[in-house]
Amino acid sequence: MTHHWLIPWRNALMGNDPITRRHVFFVLLTLIPYVVTTGAIVQSAHMGLMRHNTALLLNLMSAGIFIGVFALVRSGWSRRFKDPVLTFPHALLGLCGCVLAYTQLGNQRGNVMILMAQTIVLSMLRLQPVQVLQLGLFNTALLACAVLGLSLSDPVHYPFSLGLTHFLVGGSTLLTLSLIGKWVSDIRMRIAHQAKELSEALHTVQQMATTDMLTGALNRRVMADLAEAELKLSERSGTAMCVALIDLDHFKHVNDQHGHHAGDLVLRTFTQSAQAQLRKVDKLARWGGEEFLLMLPHANEQDSLAALERLRHAMETLTFEGHAQLHVTMSAGIARPTPGESLEQVIERADIALYAAKRQGRNRCLLADGSPPPLLRQTPPAEVLP
């Protein structure tokens, strides 16, 4: 658990955004090799194995690379790239700095070889398999150039035999590490791919368990559970709630005259139109065939009737791709629960109002009981069931 007094410091260093903080954390992990390299350079200069100007230049270069990458990641600028941590270019620059330090450190060169290996190991946690291999080959090629350059320019202090030994031992180690890194990265990518497939499969199963696969509306089982819970909440809190049964008029005629494909299109189009018109808290479910159940929490009769009228008017204007002559209307019955009434009883009253709407000519919304507000009473064909 983070101490409260540390939070402002953490936010100042890593940012407030969790994603940015995670990216910055990966960059901060690379600080360890930088510190070790700086320590080795300072020690070599102190022992007289390196000129102080050279040591200062190397340390400034090392600090510049780290600060530059840190600034790009911390500012969020790097998030435009596929790898927002900039692992590959950072590793390339780091290896170049290591090889440059190798040419200057004299007896401390062995420490730099370890840092090269650490850079590859850290990179394998983020890079693609082929990038890890490319990093190893690049590092080996740089080391070969450094060994050859030192042997030719200073054969007394750096004989070719010493350089060859460093190259064979260091190069083979780096290549082996890069191959292992590629293998580890392969496994990591495979696990990530399998995890993604599993997540997608789980999402599909959840969708199948909770929604109607044709329309995308909730299925009957889930809607019954949600409506039961909302009914209990409404009774405890005293808030208004309504349910409505919606039926698409003459739907059998649509299937008979235009085919089941057109019928499926009508069901999907109605669902999409209704979900676009409704509030986020409203729940729409396919109740069976061409019948839908709509739950309207925190809505009285006036609110619910107005919402259903919007759906009805929208339904009148819907067009169906490939079926220019097809027009479908809807009828609805709306019921508000009374104290002590079960969900089945509420839906039954909404069902009675729905069939009354159909008997009165369809394409209308009726309240199961009570009277509509005056404004709505003047807006036919919305009516009240006596």
Predicted confidence pLDDT, tens digits, the chain (386 residues):
445 666 777 777 787 888 888 888 888 888 877 887 788 778 877 877 677 887 888 888 888 988 999 999 888 898 888 889 898 898 888 888 888 888 877 666 776 777 788 788 878 878 888 888 888 888 888 888 888 888 888 888 788 887 788 788 877 888 887 888 888 888 888 888 888 888 888 877 777 778 888 999 999 999 999 999 999 999 998 899 999 999 999 999 999 999 999 999 999 999 999 999 999 999 999 998 999 999 999 999 999 999 999 999 999 999 898 888 899 999 999 999 998 899 999 999 999 999 999 999 999 999 996 433 333 333 444 444 43
Interatomic CA distance for residues 216 and 121, integer angstroms: 47
- Please identify which of the residues 230, 290, 301, 383 carries the catalytic annotation: 290
Domains annotated on the chain, with CATH: 4-206 (no CATH), 220-384 (3.30.70.270)
Q: What is the pLDDT of residue 383?
A: 45
Measured CA to CA, the distance from residue 109 to residue 102 in angstroms comes to: 5
**C-alpha to C-alpha distance for 66 and 92, rounded to whole angstroms:** 12
> What pLDDT shows up at residue 3?
56
The pLDDT, as a whole number, for residue 384 is 41
Predicted TM-score (pTM) of this structure: 0.51
Predicted confidence at residue 283, as pLDDT, reads 95
Active-site residue flag, 290: yes
Q: What is the pLDDT of residue 335?
A: 95
Q: For the chain, first and last CA: distance in Å? A: 63
Asked if residues 151 and 159 have their Cβ atoms less than 8 Å apart, the reply is yes
Taking the C-alpha atoms of residue 303 and residue 284, their distance in angstroms, rounded to an integer, is 16
Q: What pLDDT is recorded for position 378?
A: 37
CA–CA distance, 163 with 143 (Å, rounded to integer): 10
Hey, CA dihedral for 83, 89, 92, 96, is it positive or negative? negative
Confidence (pLDDT) at 5:
66
